[in-house]
Amino acid sequence: MSEPIQNRYEFVLLFDVKNGNPNGDPDGGNLPRIDPETGHGITTDVCIKRKVRNYVELTKEDQAPFNIYVKEKGILTERRSPAYDAVADVKDKSEKISQARAWMCKNFFDVRTFGAVMSAKENNCGQVRGPVQFAFSQSIDPVVPLEASITRMAVETRKEADAQDGDNRTMGRKTYVPYGLYRIHGFISAPLAKQTGFSEDDLELFWEALLNMFDHDRSAARGEMAPQKLIVFKHASELGNAPAQKLFNLVKVAKNCGEKPPRSFADYTMEIGDAPDGVKLIEML
């Protein structure tokens, strides 16, 4: 592994969805999440983190130091068990937790990247505050959540078939937005990276995941999701050389298709201002 990163970063990721559901709301019948006051679509930070985790797991095949702690259908107590096996000879309780936490950071990409709460009673590894964090994303313009009725030409059981007198058609619904361009802001802290060991190698893998994660997350609901722009602000120092919000304000995105609803990234115009002294602007896509 390379050394922990030495610079602070902020980034803006623009991604879009066509006739899909980027992040369903389980409290709302899995409809696409929206801000009820403005109608803008939103996705949660954990939605994007899940895709990053899945990409890293796919490409690194769950090998240290790129194991994934929060795996789909994983049992977290069991994922922490090897950390306690590694520090079995340590007698002092607080020291054992500290060393187990360090072991988790060393071996699990998502722990040293996003952090984790691992302070459960069994196999207590404490808490880690991760250097990489996302805000919720928001669509540039309001989106229209829609539902489409679908028909399945089969039933699950013989009992259902008999109850329907041989008509095995069953009805269902799919939820989607016709089009939405979403913007998400991210933050990477160099001081926190020192604490977890988040390295230059990890950073390169993280950028790679952001650019490729949608290609390995296809489903009927997410068939056409794609990154459109990734703009990175690299500070010259650990603590930073400009306020994050000032940098985010340099990236302006506006609809250019008049009164028509946008239906592609070409329906938007993007302008990026000049970065202030001490900050390097990098367009990765």
Of 16, 81, 3, 17, residue with least CA distance to 221:
17
Residue 215, C-beta contacts closer than 8 angstroms, at least 6 positions apart:
none
pLDDT at 223: 74
Quick check: 120 pLDDT over 90? no
In sequence order, the β-bridge partners of residue 146 are 176
In tens, the pLDDT along 245-267 reads 999 999 999 999 999 999 999 99
Q: How confident is the model at residue 162 (pLDDT cuts 50, 70, 90)?
A: confident
Quick check: 172 pLDDT over 80? no
pLDDT at 202: 97
pLDDT at 166: 65
Token output for 107:
């071996």
Lowest mean pLDDT among 6-10, 37-41, 55-59, 61-65: 61-65
In tens, the pLDDT along 61-76 reads 878 899 999 998 889 9
In angstroms, the Cα distances linking 54 to 112, 188, 265 are: 16, 20, 26
Give 25-32's long-range contacts (Cβ < 8 A, gap of 24+). Answer: 29/175, 30/175, 31/145, 31/147, 31/175, 32/143, 32/145, 32/175, 32/176, 32/177, 32/180
Please give the single-letter amino acid code of residue 88.
A
Q: How confident is the model at residue 192 (pLDDT cuts 50, 70, 90)?
A: very high
Instruction: Kindly report the average pLDDT of the chain as a whole number.
Output: 93
